[in-house]
Amino acid sequence: MAAKHPSSIEETHELRPRFNADGLITAVAQDAASGRILMLAHMNSDALRLTLETGVAHYWSRSSGALWKKGETSGNLQSVVEVLVDCDQDAVILKVHVSGDGNSCHTGRATCFYRVVARGGGSHRLEFAGV
């Protein structure tokens, strides 16, 4: 059953993102039309604020230690249709439309999740999903 405490993090109407020790929340980008999950990334408070203010996805690049306007160089900007937040407010979903050639993965694919784990046997092999 749903919690009965409207001020709790789960029931509040306030956006109160719970950034981790590194100042980050997790963001999942999902294609707004197909529902396909495109990528998983992280946001600091600036990235979240800019995403909400501009309607274009911004992340925090942990590898380069910098704010990252996704698609700024490739043209594959992610226009944000909807932002959802989870129960404990440490993760968000961005439902997006991708411009340019429609890719979100740095390998040149539409999605970062292009490999499926083939089950069975002692070891697991990855099969490419043909994207």
Give yes or no for residue 93 binding a second copy (CB under 8 A): yes
Q: Which residues pair with 49 in a beta bridge?
A: none
Q: Give, as one character, the DSSP assignment of residue 130.
A: -
Total residues at interface with a second copy (CB under 8 A): 48
Which SS3 state, helix, strand or coil, does residue 113 take?
A: coil
Q: Are strands 66-69 and 78-85 parallel, antiparallel or unpaired?
A: unpaired
- What's the rounded Cα separation, in Å, for the pair 63 and 60? 9
Give yes or no for residue 22 binding a second copy (CB under 8 A): no
Identify the residue among 57, 91, 96, 110 touching a second copy (CB under 8 A). 91
- Whichever of 34 and 75 has its CB closer to a second copy, that residue is 34
Is residue 11 within 8 A of residue 2, CB to CB? The reply is yes
8 contact partners, CB below 8 Å, separation of at least 6: none
Tell me the one-letter amino acid at 54. Answer: T
Give yes or no for residue 35 binding a second copy (CB under 8 A): yes
Q: How crowded is residue 105: how many other Cβ atoms within 10 Å of its Cβ? A: 15
Identify the residue among 19, 32, 37, 79 touching a second copy (CB under 8 A). 37
Using CB under 8 A as the binding rule, the residues of this chain from 61 to 80 that contact a second copy are none
Identify the residue among 23, 46, 61, 82 touching a second copy (CB under 8 A). 82
Which residues are near a second copy by CB under 8 A? 1-3, 10-15, 26, 28, 30, 34-37, 39-40, 52, 55, 82-88, 91-93, 105-109, 112-117, 119, 123-127, 129
